Amino acid sequence: MDKTRQIYPLIEKSGAFFLSRPRRFGKSLTLSVLDEIFSGNRELFQGLWIYDSPWEWKKHPVLRFDFSKQKARTTDELKQFIFNELEYVANRYSLQLTKETYFDRFQELIIKCSQISENSKVVILIDEYDKPIIDHLEDTPRAVEMREIKKGFFTVLKGCDPYIRFLLLTGVSKFSKAGVFSNLNHLRDISLEDQYSDLIGITEDELTSRLADYIHEFAKEEEVSDNELVVKIRDWYNGYRFSPKGISVYNPFSTLLLLQQKRFEHHWFETGTPEFLVKLILNRNYNIISVPLEIEASKFSSYEVEDLNITPLLFQTGYLTIKGYDKEESLYILDYPNYEVKYAFLNYLLMKMQKYEDSIPHIHHLAKSFRSGDLHNVIEILRRIFLSIDYDLHIPLERYYQTIFYLIFTLLGLRIKTEVKTNLGRVDAVVETASTIYIFEFKLDDTAEKALEQIREKKYYEKYQGQGKAIVLVGVEFRDRNIGKWLSSNNLL
């Protein structure tokens, strides 16, 4: 897939840039392409757009650093990693570094490389700049220490600007204010720019044209048409959008692995489960059932080590993406990008809420019970599920029940809405199957009779009438963190 047309506007003039994208999305591959372009290796690009472009193919010294390779547990280990990387690049250009500190040696390397030949300003490519910080987000003091080391490293860049032809930092997150970017305020953040929204990722056109042979072969095995297969691939792996008007892209890791293995799996999700994110969600009372959600533009593009904001973290790590933008209000609408992420993430969240994983019933039996109208079995299965949930979770009691219901029924493939607005109030939960709509009202400190009475008095069922489906009203009371008495009543069609 030829991305050189999108790359050209980025490199045609001198500049310093930052690009944030989720893990395994192609950031390193993009830096490899830039490395070869600035190294003047035109022959590698024959047949691609840039080969016959106005690009001059001038050779520049390329200083490339990949912080994804480091596994530093202490600041000394991180400093040693930086020393080793600087030495490696210096040896590549037959240079000897004499300064003592890592930041002085970095400056020395930049200046000496710029003097290799006349007008040979350097190109600096820094991959996964934030990994030493992200690796320690559960240990805030250690993460701050790592951040300070990186600040010292990056401070050099601004002072060396006269020697730099092009600079690109990539990472998952943007630590601003008192963080790394406080010393890099000359960087242009292109992460949310429409022009570069499809710089990384696979577009619909690229999927159906460049990968057409693979799709056709896979479709034959599945005994479906090419178009039917593309629709399924789109549902599973498309949906990422990185700017207000940007082009939607497929997850490249999952899509390519799908076409290689010919199996629909949670390929991307399983390469790194978001355990730390889930801990934050549970410990900070994050209302996961509020997704999709609205957030101000100023609040979701960066965050700080000392005060992590979960919503921008979910966006930057790829578990939420842009689904809409209100220009007048400067509000973004964030939602799960696709089926892979939504199902795998919510399943992982529910798994982490379980006290004893092996004791959880096969909750897919709930769907069968709902569809057959067997509410007695539904309630009994739910009671067993609630027994296996870790009651030490820091979730407010009312939201606790709503969260459990939301996770279970969403994973079952049932349509569920919580706190549905009507003209007379809010319905606690609505579950919809092919033939029936179930309207739930929960009472934590009252009776099932009161719950059922509230549904009738406020006529929560009215907005669902006339759809040709049976409507079942369900009043539920909770006692001792589980379902107690419950009552149901069929309403009119």
Do the beta carbons of residue 472 and residue 491 sit within 8 Å? Answer: yes
Q: How many residues does the chain have?
A: 493
**pLDDT in the model for residue 358:** 40
Q: CA torsion 5→11→12→14, rounded to 10°?
A: 170
CB-based burial, 76-104: b 16+ in 10 Å, e otherwise: eebbebbeebbeebbeeeebebeeeebbe
Of residues 26 and 389, which shows the higher confidence score? 26
For 17, residues 6+ apart whose C-beta sits below 8 A from its C-beta are 10, 167, 168, 169, 187, 188, 189, 190
Tell me the pLDDT tens digit for each residue of 228-246: 999 999 999 999 999 999 9
The 10 Å Cβ neighbour count of residue 243 is 17
Report all structural domains of the chain as residue ranges with CATH numbers, in order of start.
Answer: 4-191 (3.40.50.300), 204-265 (no CATH), 271-339 (no CATH), 354-491 (3.40.1350)
**pLDDT in the model for residue 118:** 75
Q: Which of 137, 138, 151, 131 is nearest to 68 (CA)?
A: 131
Tell me the pLDDT tens digit for each residue of 264-292: 999 999 887 778 888 888 888 788 888 88
**pLDDT in the model for residue 279:** 84
The alpha-carbon radius of gyration of the chain (Å, integer) is 27
Do the beta carbons of residue 441 and residue 455 sit within 8 Å? Answer: yes
**CA pair distance 382, 409, nearest whole angstrom:** 11
**CA pair distance 135, 74, nearest whole angstrom:** 11
**CA pair distance 103, 118, nearest whole angstrom:** 25
Strands 62-66 and 293-296: unpaired
**CA pair distance 301, 298, nearest whole angstrom:** 7
**pLDDT in the model for residue 493:** 43
Number of H helices, E strands in the chain: 17, 13
**pLDDT in the model for residue 418:** 60
Least confident of 244-258, 292-306, 435-449: 292-306
**pLDDT in the model for residue 424:** 56
Do the beta carbons of residue 204 and residue 234 sit within 8 Å? Answer: yes
**pLDDT in the model for residue 415:** 63
SS3 of 228, please?
helix
Which residue's entry shows tokens 């980025």? 10
Q: Which two tokens stand for residue 493?
A: 């069609």
Q: Which of 42, 45, 40, 43 is nearest to 59 (CA)?
A: 40
* Mean pLDDT of the 251-271 span: 95
Do the beta carbons of residue 157 and residue 184 sit within 8 Å? Answer: yes
**CA pair distance 455, 441, nearest whole angstrom:** 7
Q: Is pLDDT of 357 > 60?
A: no
